[in-house]
Each structure stands twice: as C-alpha cells, then as structure tokens.
Amino acid sequence: MTQNAAEFGEILREHQAMVFSIALRFVRDRSVAEELAQDVFLKLYGELPRLESREHVRFWLRKVTSHRALDYLRSVHRRSELALDDVPEPTVVAAQDDLLLEGFLRKMVSSLPDQSRAVIVLRFQEDMQPQEIAELLGVSSATVKSRLRRSLALLRGKVQRLVGEPIR
Amino acid sequence: MNEIDARLKRALRRCQPPEGFADRVLARVSRESALARTRPLWPLWRSPSLFLRWAAVGALVAALVTGIEYQISESRERAEALAAKQQVMVALRITASKLRVAKQRVKSVEAGTQKLENTL
C-alpha cells in the first residue's frame, strides 16, 4: 500500500461520519447520501496530493459534500419538501422528553428549504461560524446570517408551541 | 448558547455511515485506480465530442497556416515578377538607346557618302 493510500484510509475513517451526515441531512435519503459520500471520498483520493494540511482536507470535504448535495437536490428538483408550517406537531410532548423533541427538531430541519437547511446543518452539526459557512457555500456572510435568523425564528416558534413554554 | 441552539446541536449530532462504508469506498478507489492504470492517456472514443472539437480546432489551424503560407508565396512571386519586369524594361531602354546611336551613325555615314558622290 502506498503512503498516499495509507493516509487516505486514515482520513476516510476520521471523516466518514462528517461527510455522510452532511450528505444525509442535505439529501434526506440514506442510499443517496452513501453514494454521494463515496463519490466525495473517491474525488478526494485524486485530490489528496494537492491538499496541504488536515485542516485543508476537512474544509475541502465539507465544501465538496455540500456542493454535491445541493447540486443533487437541484438536479432532482425535489419540490416535494414539506413547508415548515405543514409539519405535524406531536400532540403531547413533555419538555423533558428530549428524544422525542430531538426527532421532531430533525424533522423540522429536514423540512426547511435546501439553502436554509444547509446553513442550519453546517452551523449546528458542524459547529461552523457564519463566516466559514459563507466561504464554503460561496454566498455572503449577511445571507448566511439572515437565513440562520429566519430559520431559527421558525424553529423556535414551533418548539415553543410544542413544549408549551417560551424557549430562548 | 441559548436553548434552541443547544437542542439543535443535540438533534443534529453526526451519525455513522452504514456498516462497511469505508471498505466499500476503499474497494471503489482500488477499482478506479486499476482502471486508470489500464486506461490509455487519450481515450478519444470515450469522449467523441471532445475529439471532434479538437479535430475542428486542428483543421482550423491547418487552414490558417496554409492560407498564410499561400499569401506569403503569392506576394513573393509577385515581387519576383515585378523585379523581372523592371529588368526587361531596363534592357529594352538600353537596347533602344543603342539602336538610336547606331541609327544616327548610319545616317551620318549615308550623309557623308551622298556628299562625296555629289562632289564627284
């Protein structure tokens, strides 16, 4: 095994969850997400000699995965997504019933429009700052912040109605 | 960090890919690498449109070069013809002046003979 292949195997194991999770939350289909994640790693293998550091590799993986997933969504014209207001709310959810609430939140996030969902996933799953997200998606920082604000306001309203008490 | 942020972070935790994902990626990588090794450097038949594009560019360049060469040789021939014409003109002028001189001499000899005949 060459040094390049050994290094690739290490990177693959380190970042597979990140790449797969971004793809899954963007495309909302496990088999498509796996196919997409495989394609991203395959491309990485050819690209590896040109990437200068581990940090560069991580940025490259996030960027390529996000763009490929958004391209995929554009290509299938998946307009069947539910509007956030159409997501049914569970009738009784106790505030401390975190598992149920988390599931509900994931469902609400997946019903957001593609670009807003991308911003929310990169911000809260990948813990990226708005400036980093803007750089990665090729949009302005103001756009990212406004998408974040709008989506969070919608999500907050939904959760508030669900748990029956104000949420910060 | 506020409550909704914390809840979103928990809800959007990374998830593991399906079992055997890394092995499938590695298998694809080695398959693709093997294919790349056996693939010719310039697989024209895999991309006929690219081949046609390059062929068109090649034909255009060839036509351009031929046109330029033709222009150059044409202008060279024209210059040579012009030079030859000028040489002929010079030769004709020289011949004409020589003929004028000869004619004048003949005339003067004839005039001398006439004069001699008259005196005799």
ipTM of the complex: 0.78
Do A148 and A126 share a structural domain?
yes
Contact (CB<8Å) B7/A41 = no
CATH number at residue A155: 1.10.10.10
Q: Which domain holds residue A142?
A: 83-168
Find chain A residues with C-beta within 8 A of B7's C-beta: 98, 101-102, 105, 159
Distances A75 to A24, A34, A71, A83, B14 between C-alpha atoms, Å: 16, 17, 6, 20, 25
The reported pLDDT for the residue numbered B40 is 59
* Per-residue model confidence as pLDDT tens digits over A111-146: 899 999 999 999 999 999 999 999 999 999 999 999
* Per-residue model confidence as pLDDT tens digits over B36-68: 777 655 555 566 778 888 899 999 999 999 999
Domain count, chain B: 1
Give the single-character DSSP code of A122: I
* Averaged pLDDT, A89-97: 51
- pLDDT band at residue A3 using 50, 70 and 90 as cut-offs: low
Do A6 and A52 share a structural domain?
yes
Stated pTM of the model:
0.64
Question: Which residue in chain B is spatially nearest to A123 when comparing CA positions?
Answer: B9
- State which amino acid sits at residue A165: E
Domain boundary among A48, A80, A112: A80
Do A107 and A70 share a structural domain?
no
CA distance A73 to chain B (A): 20
CA distance B24 to chain A (A): 8
- Angle ∠(A149,A152,A153) on CA atoms, nearest 5: 85
Do A87 and A76 share a structural domain?
no
Per the model's pLDDT, the better-predicted residue between B54 and A86 turns out to be B54
* Of residues B2, B5, B15, nearest to A24 (C-beta): B15
Domain boundary among A29, A59, A80: A80
Domain count, chain A: 2
Residue (of A146, A41, A160) closest to A89 by Cα position: A160
